[in-house]
Amino acid sequence: MLARVQSSTLSGIDAVPCEVEVDLDTAGILRETIVGLPDAAVKEALERVRSAIGNAGYPYPHGRIVINLAPADVRKEGPTYDLPIAVGLLVVQGVVAVAPGPDGLASAGPGIDLRRYAMAGELALDGRVRPIPGGIALAAMAKQRGLDGVIVPADNAAECAVVQGIDVLGVRTLSEVVALLNGELDPTPTPAPDIASLLRNASAPVDFAEVRGQESVKRALVIAAAGGHNILMLGPAGTGKTMMAKALPGVLPPLEPEEAIEITRIYSAAGLLEPGQGLITSRPVRTPHHTASSAAIVGGGMIPRPGEISLAHRGILFLDELPEFPRDVLETLRQPMEDHVVTIARAQATVRFPASFMLVAAMNPTPKGDMPAGEFGRRSMERYLAKLSGPLLDRIDMHVEAPAVAWNQLRSAPTGTSSTQMRDQAGAARARQRQRQGAAMPNARLTGKQLDTIASFDPHAQGFLGQAMTELGLSARAYDKIRRVSRTIADLDNADTITLPHVAEAVGYRLLDRKV
């Protein structure tokens, strides 16, 4: 008998349909074969499935067993297929009571229609169903194909329920799956969450009110948040740079439902969702160590997986001690910073991961972490800054100095600008941008052609910008960066035209172009 069970395989953060076909020939020689480009984890599935079926109290078939994972030209990996393989083996034995469908394959029985549900899950040896990566992608694929629902591990049910319009049946054991298919257990779909309410209640872990001093840096971070600009903070150790980077998500606008689902899909595909976690409700902040490799930052592997820049999608990638990162790692950021996607090519597949992130970097002026003094210190700072390439600095919109905090500010009660005040300012500027450019187009994304129309300078501002370009020797990319930042500063002032104070402040944020 032949059974067919619907499942999926991950390609990047998307699920690709995969049919698990199980054929049993009881008259054949005892042999078990899995075909369809399985990796080692898939080949080991039969050992897990054999133990799970036996320990759940069901017989294991005897005869020639062929399991095909279709399409056969796409590589399959991981323990995702344990559950559909086990169900297929139980179907061909008649343990799962189904009737042949119009195509001669196992179809509807007393319970749910096997052809109308996709399933995936890892099996423990005692028959428990363990969570898998990419559950939400499986649910999205099932909805796209017009299926009725999915059968997934109970720990994946919350994330799958985010995809509305299909039934999500969370199971904890193989016996529960058999009972559902045999009509012995009424299906109880996991309720869909109230996404809007979850996003509305999200909060940032750090408030800017806790940061002593640094009002000039807070101003720069408001501008960065308002326009989605990349920013580099330069200053001695212990000035609050890391703390401000962690507080910045509280200034950014709340996630839209589509953004939250997209982030959740990335984390689910990477296997980083906590068991039972349904939705990521706040903008991610990724802080990789400076020893991270290019593959860890950008993504990679034999079968490509998302890296830190994709895990920071719609959020913040914070690179502390920027010059300590290997230069080749930093250079891999240049293309994703411009295109907001990263393409990873391998012999077997080419995968595109979203990578629309705000780069927030911090660095000390010297390897010792202090501000330089004298000619020797100046030369030490220049050698340290030389670790960063000009093209990379060009792609960072704003360079701002974070000076040491005075003692009287450290010991006094916090009285500076709070995250709420900063969020209100940035939100008003973002509202102007949405009205002018559309929801998905912050000022940092404006093209040169759009800037020619949107970023109109008055004569004094235009003359000052031309003088700054000449005296500082700025590149064409830096010119566009200044125009974008100037446009954001004008939006914060609720101004249609960019004036001299706006462009002067934007030029002031090209700190490293002036070689401090």
**Alpha carbon separation from 46 to 31, 114, 378 (Å, rounded):** 11, 21, 65
Q: What percent of the chain is modeled with pLDDT above 70?
A: 93
Residue 246: the pLDDT is: 87
Residues whose CB falls within 8 Å of the CB of residue 372, separated by 6 or more in sequence, listed in order: 365, 366, 378, 380, 381
108 falls in which pLDDT band (50, 70, 90)?
low
394-427 residue pLDDT tens: 899 999 998 887 767 666 666 678 899 999 999 9
Arithmetic mean of pLDDT, 178-202: 88
The predicted model gives 196-222 an average pLDDT of: 85
For range 182-198, the mean pLDDT: 90
**Helix, strand, coil: what percent of the chain each, to 5?**
45, 20, 40
Residue 512: pLDDT band (50, 70, 90) is: confident
The pLDDT tens digits of the residues spanning 265-317 come to 999 999 999 888 889 998 999 999 999 999 999 988 777 889 999 999 999 99
Q: What pLDDT is attached to residue 123?
A: 96
Task: Please give the structure tokens belonging to residue 167.
Answer: 């039934």
Mean pLDDT over each residue of the chain, to the nearest integer: 89
Please tell me the distance from the alpha carbon of residue 351 to that of residue 328, in angstroms, as a whole number: 21
pTM for the model stands at 0.89
Confidence at residue 516, expressed as pLDDT on a 0 to 100 scale: 40
350 compared with 101, residue with greater pLDDT: 350
pLDDT(203) > 50: yes
Q: Which helix (H) or strand (E) holds 470?
A: helix 459-472
Q: pLDDT tens digits, residue range 486-509?
A: 999 999 999 999 999 999 999 999
User: Above 60 in pLDDT, residue 121?
Assistant: yes
Domains recognised in the chain with CATH numbers: 2-181 (3.30.230.10), 199-438 (3.40.50.300), 446-516 (1.10.8)
Percent of the chain's residues with pLDDT above 90: 59
For residues 337 and 29, give the distance between their C-alpha atoms in angstroms, rounded to a whole number.
58
Q: Which amino acid is residue 395, in one-letter code? A: R
Band of residue 515 on the pLDDT scale cut at 50, 70, 90: very low
pLDDT of residue 172: 97
Q: In the prediction, which pLDDT does 347 show?
A: 67
The tokens describing 234, both together, are 């330069």
> Does the pLDDT at position 441 exceed 90?
no
Provide CB contacts within 8 A for 330, sequence distance 6+. Answer: 322, 388, 389, 392
Q: How confident is the model at residue 474 (pLDDT cuts 50, 70, 90)?
A: confident
Instruction: Please report which confidence band the pLDDT of residue 357 belongs to, taking 50, 70 and 90 as the band edges.
Output: very high
Instruction: Decide if 281 contacts 198 (C-beta within 8 A).
Output: yes
Q: Choose among 322, 323, 306, 401: nearest CA to 357.
A: 306
Structure tokens at 469: 């370009």
In the predicted model, what is the mean pLDDT of residues 195-215? 82
Give, in order, the Cα–Cα distances in Å from 302 to each of 45, 76, 231, 476.
20, 12, 33, 38
Q: For residue 99, what are the CA distances in angstroms to 26, 94, 103, 110, 222?
A: 19, 10, 11, 9, 63
CB 120 within 8 A of CB 7: yes
